[in-house]
């Protein structure tokens, strides 16, 4: 029989655990954020490969420029398709810890690395972010995976692979996964008059991926602001 | 030798007719307006194309470039250029009948077949000039105004990004096949011209046939679907296949074959009719 | 008169049908080198069809067409190279100048023509100074002259002119007539000239054929056909019965063709006219007028009027 005394103890334990989880989450996120701030600016050569239903393109080379706090530019002779929110969504989000509540959800093994899963819940109703989930390597204070669901961009799952610039929290490789079922091709624009091909219905509910390899980082070398002007 | 002399004569006649310049003038005006509109508001047009993807993705780079402009222009004008071609080629035989000069022309010591073929060749040359002018305005002027870059092509099954270094041969091949489809139109209007004694008939009939076949080709009716692949209008946009990846080689070859078949059959009919015709006008 | 010389044109039993309509039923005639040959017939008789068939603008239904000794159907280009023609009215490219028009057609004539030659021909037909003018501003007479210029520019052996004076004013008709005579006399051309006006043919042709309803009626020398011994003489008298009696009494073979009102129509030779006149005067038959018509002219006029 459950007595009120037992219930009270459970509640107190729960609240304590939650608080502890929250404090722990904030601490983890803070550590990640601090590390990410080491690179005040950088430029990097990228190779972008798009594997997406409804999109066909060859891998292209581009250059990315970043400068704190939020200057970001993709420079390419070719047309480059990149995730809408850029590459640093997770880091941007971590800058304002007052705008969300972070809770440790658990642990997960990614490859051979133990990660802590931190859920991020925005405090404001008007925030674009609906829910965030980060898989963090607490040993290295780096994000191995992020899943961000926003009102404007849907859900984007990002995997990070680190190498030479791990000390700055800058990945050598990223894989973005986006949900493609929202893509609808406007018939009037495609102008395939008399096209007798049938549309491929098998592609309607798939995930699309963007593979980005980052090489030749130039970190904290100074980037003038005019580079970021359009 | 007489054939080339006759062809030279036909060039002179085409070059001297005011209507020959209607096509060139119209194209210059239309393309000028398109280029101006794209310069003024092209990015909005692009966003209409990329909007389905923009919720999750962002397009970086010079999307609104000369290559895209050239592609858009080719796509827009594929209905209009045939009319401007037919305006001249539809008049090649019937115009002479209407003017009465055919009486004198056919009493010269050159076979009727040679006369017709020389008119045909001159008509094809005029078609080439029109297309080259479109190409120049679209590609050269387009690149001067908008720069160069990759080509974003929106098909009914999605978006293709073709890299700039890969576009030269695609545009060349596309233009060649577009030329073939315009030669098809020229052949049709010339053939109709052999059956008429006035200029307007063949021109209007050519356009009516194009419109009718386009409608038949677009109808999703089972009984018509058997016929659709063989309509020449179904292959008027065959040039677009060069902007697919991977290249649908079979489709391209099939389109070229069907267009050539139409051209040969129509030309045969034209030669037959022109030779058999009693000149009563 | 015996027809002598080289036959340039031999048409034998030419037939052209358009379905049930028979435009030409049986036309035959010959044209000799050096002739100015008149091709006569009323409107709708088949002249134009015959000429178009000779030039293969129209395919014959049957018949033999030989020009310059060769079968037309088998030697089209060879034959057409030797012919210059105007079929009905001369039509040119309105948007080109006179000079350019001549050059266009000359280029297809089978011989090399120089600009100098073109200018010479334009001058010959009386259009000097108008070479650069566009045809749109030319009168009918000027176009007719230019038409003749294009027939001559490649120096053909046979010139075919289909009703060349149609639509011209009297001066224009005279000019064309003089041009044709110049072609014959100075340039030694053979000319085939079609018309529905007998007097026009009479003035310049030496031989002719008359067709009607697609058939050859008569062919031969103009002199022989038109200046035949027999004439149709119309004599207006006051006493027709007495006049008729007098003619019957003189016992010659004067044929009374018709009596119309107080006009006697007689078939007589020219020499007998004063004889008849004296006969009437001596017998108190008053003669009010004597009109003569060639038998053939009368026949032709009847054809036209019917």
Contact C186, C34 (CB under 8 A): no
Residue position matching structure tokens 């049930």 = C20
Q: What was the pLDDT predicted at C229?
A: 52
Mean pLDDT comparison of A52-56, B121-125, C152-156, C197-201, highest-scoring range: B121-125
Q: What was the pLDDT predicted at C251?
A: 67
Q: What was the pLDDT predicted at A190?
A: 43
- With cut-offs at 50, 70 and 90, classify the pLDDT of residue A30: confident
On average, the pLDDT of chain B sits at: 90
Mean pLDDT comparison of A1-15, B259-273, C275-289, highest-scoring range: B259-273
Q: What was the pLDDT predicted at A80?
A: 85
Helices (H), B17-100: 19-50, 66-77, 80-89, 94-99
A193 has a pLDDT exceeding 60: no
What digits encode the pLDDT tens for the residues A111-140?
Answer: 888 899 999 888 888 888 888 899 999 888
Task: Over range C80-94, report the average pLDDT.
Answer: 91
A189 has a pLDDT exceeding 50: no
Measured in whole angstroms, how far is the alpha carbon of residue C147 from the centre of its chain? Answer: 18
Q: Is B271 on the interface with A (CB under 8 A)?
A: no
Identify which has the larger pLDDT, B10 or A34: B10
Question: In angstroms, rounded to a whole number, what is the distance separating the alpha carbons of residues C302 and C97?
Answer: 44
Nearest Cα of chain A lies from the Cα of B79 at a distance, in angstroms, of 11
Task: Over range C67-93, report the average pLDDT.
Answer: 92
Identify which has the larger pLDDT, C292 or B131: B131
- With cut-offs at 50, 70 and 90, classify the pLDDT of residue A196: very low
Closest residue in chain A to residue B213, using alpha carbons only: A194
Cβ-based burial of B170 (10 A; exposed 0-12, middle 13-18, buried ≥19) = buried
Question: In angstroms, rounded to a whole number, what is the distance separating the alpha carbons of residues A77 and B63?
Answer: 10
A176 has a pLDDT exceeding 60: yes
Residue position matching structure tokens 């009563």 = B280
Chain B / chain C CB contacts < 8 angstroms: 85
Mutation target for B interface from A81, A84, A156, A211: give the one with most B CBs within 10 A: A81
Q: Which residues of C33-70 are buried (b: 16+ CB within 10 A; e: fewer)?
A: bbbbbbbbbbeebbbbbbbbbbbbbbebeebebbbbee
Please report the sign of the dihedral spanned by the C-alpha atoms of residue B214, residue B24, residue B10, residue C159: positive
Contact C157, C184 (CB under 8 A): no
Task: Over range B73-93, report the average pLDDT.
Answer: 88
Beta partners for residue A72, in sequence order: A66
A96 has a pLDDT exceeding 80: no
Q: What was the pLDDT predicted at A185?
A: 60
Tell me which of A11-25, B125-139, C83-97, C123-137 is least confident: A11-25
Q: What was the pLDDT predicted at A188?
A: 47
Q: Is A187 on the interface with B (CB under 8 A)?
A: yes
On average, the pLDDT of chain A sits at: 81
Task: Over range A191-195, report the average pLDDT.
Answer: 45
Question: In angstroms, rounded to a whole number, what is the distance separating the alpha carbons of residues A133 and A148?
Answer: 6
On average, the pLDDT of chain C sits at: 85
Tell me which of A142-146, C46-50, C231-235, C285-289 is least confident: C231-235
Q: What was the pLDDT predicted at B119?
A: 97
Q: Distance of CA B270 to CAs B91, B188, B212, C278, Å?
A: 14, 9, 21, 74
Which has the closest alpha carbon to C222: C182, C193, C248?
A: C193
Q: Under an 8 A CB cutoff, do B163 and A196 touch?
A: no
Contact B191, B123 (CB under 8 A): no
Q: What was the pLDDT predicted at A102?
A: 87
B190 has a pLDDT exceeding 60: yes
ipTM for the complex?
0.85
Q: Under an 8 A CB cutoff, do B237 and A77 touch?
A: no
Which has the closest alpha carbon to A119: A101, A98, A107, A137?
A: A101
Closest residue in chain C to residue B98, using alpha carbons only: C91
B117 has a pLDDT exceeding 50: yes
Give A112's contacts (C-beta < 8 A, 6+ positions apart): none
Provide the whole-model pTM: 0.82
Contact A180, A219 (CB under 8 A): no
Beta partners for residue A100, in sequence order: A122
Q: What was the pLDDT predicted at A16?
A: 67
A50 has a pLDDT exceeding 70: yes
Q: Is B262 helix (H, G, I), strand (E, B) or coil?
A: helix
Q: What was the pLDDT predicted at A20?
A: 65
Contact A100, A122 (CB under 8 A): yes
B131 has a pLDDT exceeding 80: yes
Beta partners for residue C214, in sequence order: none
Q: Is A209 helix (H, G, I), strand (E, B) or coil?
A: strand
Task: Over range B47-72, report the average pLDDT.
Answer: 82
| CB-nearest partner of A193 from B54, B161, B214 | B214
Q: Is B147 on the interface with A (CB under 8 A)?
A: no
Contact B119, B110 (CB under 8 A): no
Pairing label, strands A171-179, B57-60 = unpaired
Q: Under an 8 A CB cutoff, do B158 and A154 touch?
A: no
Task: Over range A77-100, report the average pLDDT.
Answer: 77
Q: What was the pLDDT predicted at B16?
A: 92
Q: Which residues of B240-257 are buried (b: 16+ CB within 10 A; e: fewer)?
A: bbbbbbeeeeeebeebbe
Nearest Cα of chain B lies from the Cα of C218 at a distance, in angstroms, of 26
What digits encode the pLDDT tens for the residues C212-257?
Answer: 889 998 888 887 776 655 677 888 988 888 888 888 887 666 777 6
A230 has a pLDDT exceeding 80: no
SS (H, E, C) chain C: CCCCCCEEEEEEEEEEEECCEEEEEEEEEEEECCCEEEEECCCCCCHHHHHHHHCCCCCCCEEEEEECCEECCCCHHHHHCCEEEECCCCCCCCCCEHHHHHHHHHHCCCCCCCHHHHHHHHHHCCCCCCCCCEHHHCCHHHHHHHHHHHHHCCCCCEEEEECCCCCCCHHHHHHHHHHHHHHHHCCCCEEEEEECCHHHHHHHCCEEEEEECCEEEEEEEHHHHHCCCEEEEEEEECCHHHHHHHHHHHCCCCEEEEEECCEEEEEEECCHHHHHHHHHHHCCCCEEEEEEEEHHHHHHHHHHHC
């Amino acid at each position: 029989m459950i007595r009120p005394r037992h219930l009270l103890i459970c509640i107190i334990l729960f609240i304590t655990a939650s608080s502890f989880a929250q404090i722990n989450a904030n601490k983890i996120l803070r550590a990640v954020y601090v590390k990410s701030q080491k690179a005040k600016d950088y430029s990097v050569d990228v190779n972008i490969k798009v594997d997406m239903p409804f999109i066909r393109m060859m891998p292209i080379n581009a250059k990315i420029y970043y400068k704190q706090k939020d200057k970001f530019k993709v420079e390419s002779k070719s047309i480059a398709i990149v995730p809408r929110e850029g590459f640093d969504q997770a880091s941007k989000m971590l800058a304002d810890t007052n705008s969300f509540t972070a809770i440790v959800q658990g642990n997960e093994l990614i490859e051979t690395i133990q990660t802590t899963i931190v859920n991020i819940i925005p405090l404001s109703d008007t925030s674009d972010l609906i829910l965030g989930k980060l898989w963090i390597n607490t040993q290295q204070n780096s994000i191995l995976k992020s899943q961000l669901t926003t009102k404007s961009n849907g859900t984007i799952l990002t995997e990070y692979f680190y190498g030479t610039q791990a000390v700055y929290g800058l990945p050598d490789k990223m894989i973005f996964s986006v949900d493609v079922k929202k893509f609808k091709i406007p018939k009037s624009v495609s102008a395939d008059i008399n096209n007798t091909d049938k549309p491929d219905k098998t592609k309607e509910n798939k995930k699309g991926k963007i593979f980005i390899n980052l090489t030749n980082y130039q970190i904290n070398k100074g980037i003038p602001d005019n580079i970021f002007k359009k | 030798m007489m054939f080339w002399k006759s062809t030279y004569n036909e060039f002179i006649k085409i070059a001297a007719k005011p209507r020959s310049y209607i096509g060139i003038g119209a194209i210059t005006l239309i393309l000028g307006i398109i280029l101006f509109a794209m310069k003024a508001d092209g990015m909005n047009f692009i966003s209409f194309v990329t909007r389905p993807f923009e919720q999750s993705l962002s397009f970086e780079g010079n999307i609104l470039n000369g290559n895209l402009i050239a592609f858009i222009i080719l796509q827009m004008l594929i209905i209009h250029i045939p009319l401007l071609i037919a305006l001249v080629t539809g008049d090649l035989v019937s115009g002479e009948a209407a003017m009465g000069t055919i009486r004198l022309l056919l009493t010269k010591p050159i076979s009727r077949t040679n006369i017709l073929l020389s008119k045909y060749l001159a008509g094809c040359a005029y078609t080439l000039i029109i297309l080259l002018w479109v190409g120049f305005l679209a590609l050269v002027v387009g690149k001067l105004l908008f720069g160069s870059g990759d080509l974003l092509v929106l098909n009914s099954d999605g978006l293709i990004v073709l890299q700039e270094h890969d576009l030269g041969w695609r545009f060349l091949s596309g233009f060649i096949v577009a030329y073939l489809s315009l030669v098809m139109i020229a052949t049709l209007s010339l053939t109709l011209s052999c059956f008429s004694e006035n200029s307007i008939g063949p021109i209007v009939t050519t356009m009516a046939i194009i419109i009718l076949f386009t409608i038949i080709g677009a109808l999703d009716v089972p009984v018509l679907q058997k016929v659709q692949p063989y309509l020449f209008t179904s292959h008027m946009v065959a040039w677009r296949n060069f902007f697919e990846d991977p290249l649908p080689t079979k489709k391209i070859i099939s389109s070229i074959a069907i267009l050539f078949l139409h051209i040969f059959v129509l030309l045969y009919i034209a030669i037959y009719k022109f030779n058999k015709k009693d000149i009563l006008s | 008169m015996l027809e002598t010389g080289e036959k340039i044109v031999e048409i034998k039993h030419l037939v052209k049908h358009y379905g049930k309509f028979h435009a030409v039923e049986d036309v035959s005639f010959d044209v000799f080198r050096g002739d100015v040959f008149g091709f006569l017939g009323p409107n709708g008789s088949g002249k134009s069809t015959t000429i178009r068939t000779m030039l293969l603008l129209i395919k014959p239904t049957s018949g033999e067409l030989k020009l310059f000794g060769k079968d037309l159907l088998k030697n089209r280009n060879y034959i057409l190279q030797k012919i210059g023609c105007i079929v009905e009215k001369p039509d040119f490219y309105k948007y080109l100048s006179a000079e350019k028009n001549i050059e266009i057609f000359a280029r297809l004539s089978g011989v090399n023509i120089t600009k100098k030659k073109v200018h010479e021909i334009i001058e010959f037909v009386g259009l000097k100074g108008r070479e650069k003018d566009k045809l749109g501003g030319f009168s009918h007479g000027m176009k007719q002259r230019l038409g003749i210029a294009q027939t001559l520019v490649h120096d053909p052996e046979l010139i075919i002119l289909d009703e060349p004076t149609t639509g011209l004013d009297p001066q224009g008709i005279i000019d064309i007539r003089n041009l044709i005579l110049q072609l014959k006399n100075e340039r030694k051309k053979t000319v085939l000239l079609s018309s529905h006006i007998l007097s026009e043919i009479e003035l310049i042709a030496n031989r002719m054929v008359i067709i009607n309803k697609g058939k050859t009626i008569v062919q031969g020398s103009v002199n022989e056909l038109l200046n035949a011994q027999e004439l149709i003489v119309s004599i207006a008298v006051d006493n027709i019965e007495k006049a008729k009696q007098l003619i019957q009494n003189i016992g010659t073979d004067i044929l009374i063709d018709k009596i119309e009102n107080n006009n006697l129509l007689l078939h007589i030779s020219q020499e007998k006219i004063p004889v008849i006149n004296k006969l009437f005067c001596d017998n108190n038959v008053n003669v009010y007028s004597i009109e003569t018509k060639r038998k053939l002219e009368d026949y032709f006029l009847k054809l036209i009027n019917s």
